[in-house]
Amino acid sequence: MKFVTDFTLASRPLRVGRAGAPPAPFVGLQSDIWLDPSDLTTLFQDAAGTTPVTTAGQSVALIRDKSGKGNHGLQAVVARRPIYRVDEAGNGYLEGDGIDDNIIGTMTVPFGPGWTICAALRRGANTGMHSVLGVQSDGNINNYLRIRADSSERLVLMTRVLDADIDRVTTTSANGSFPGTGTSIVSVFLRATPGNNEVRINGTLATALTTPSNWPASLALGASIKMDVFGDFPASANQRFYGMMVFRRILSAAETAATEAYLAARSGVTL
Amino acid sequence: MRITIACPTGLSDDANQLAMVLGQGAADGETFGALTWAGADGATYAVASLDTGPDFLDRATQPLTRPAWDLRPYLISMAGAARAQAALRVWTEGQGAQPEAVPQATPDALVAVVGLPGLEAIAAMGLRRVEVELA
């Protein structure tokens, strides 16, 4: 089955393909991190990128960024590496053990006008509060945004700024358990200017969190920002990671829909 | 083969030396980090869980050799790694006619459970996640 959209951006067609299709999801939509576990040519068993992943069941130390920006996902510690697997539909993904596994993509600052993070995830067994995705400054680990699921499977957004008290908002996602009982497409919008950060699940707005007053300057204290694919170690998620695209800007509605459609096709989700 | 290891506070330095000997590089010195698991007595543990090849346990239980990547001045304390090895207590699923119960995590040993899924192994060792505000 082939999935094609006719979104048009900058007078050029956007094409969306499922696993096995050509790697570029849409012409003209430039991401800053693009991790695609379905593409075996991007997966390596060692951090140096010399031993490729060739079959399911092998651990992944490096997943190369397909955005062209060089923001690769890395895990140098052997015990923290997720496992490459293939689901019943033939879609490749990384499996985190919910204990210590993680992949960390690094982006250089500045933060820019905001970020959009779109990811395809499938939660495993409920093991209590755990992180789903995380963003933190490399200059101060106490400056972060966490996207978590609690033991009641509610979506939890947490921010911490300049070591100040934790500013936490807990809310139940609009379309059921977070990030859902099946595979879910999670989109997060982090605005640099005052306003709301938003989380969409499978194309629907799930919740909003008012931007802290000193956000995101605090997050950019260091030279780069770390994007935790399985959330923040050591609260790593017991989940499947089908892919992620990160943009150093707020996507338009059409761009968001196209990105979510691409990730949905990659992970077997019907939006 | 999944191996899950519970490391008590007092053994984490030595355990990380052993992790470097058995791992691939200096980064493995961070294998046992935050103490995010607790036993019934309140003692806290760092836990590492990974899929390994069949030779991993052999290497973990035989005389240790300094890895080729560790050049002078040495990074690894082989004495520390040896202390961790001496504290290693391995339980393997299905071993023996009447398998013993999974040993409980204890402050004086590195308890390693082989063959169980990671979270299942942690529960079998009597550990629960410490619900803390993680920085």
From A46, A232, A238, residue closest to B119, measured CB to CB: A238
B53 chain-A contacts, CB cut-off 8 A: none
B134 chain-A contacts, CB cut-off 8 A: 232, 234-235
State the DSSP code for B69. T
Is B41 within 8 Å of chain A by CB? no
B101 conformational bin, left if phi > 0, alpha if psi -120 to 50, beta if neither: beta
pLDDT at A1 over 60: no
- ipTM for this prediction: 0.93
Record: contact B50-A142, CB cut-off 8 A: no
Record: contact B23-A79, CB cut-off 8 A: yes
B4 chain-A contacts, CB cut-off 8 A: 99
Task: Tell me how far apart the alpha carbons of residues A251 and A118 are, in angstroms, rounded to a whole number.
Answer: 10
Record: contact A99-B31, CB cut-off 8 A: no
Q: Which residue of B has its CA nearest to A59?
A: B51
Strands B110-114 and B88-92: parallel
Q: Report pLDDT for A4.
A: 39
The rounded radius of gyration (Å) of the Cα atoms in chain A is: 17
pLDDT at B111 over 50: yes
From A76, A100, A233, residue closest to B25, measured CB to CB: A76
| Residues A153-174, mean pLDDT to the nearest whole number | 67
B129 chain-A contacts, CB cut-off 8 A: 127-129
Per-residue confidence at B7, pLDDT binned at 50, 70, 90?
A: very high
CA of B120, closest CA in chain A: separation in Å?
Answer: 11
pLDDT per residue as tens digits for the range A46-104? 999 999 999 999 999 999 999 999 999 999 999 999 999 999 999 999 999 989 899 98
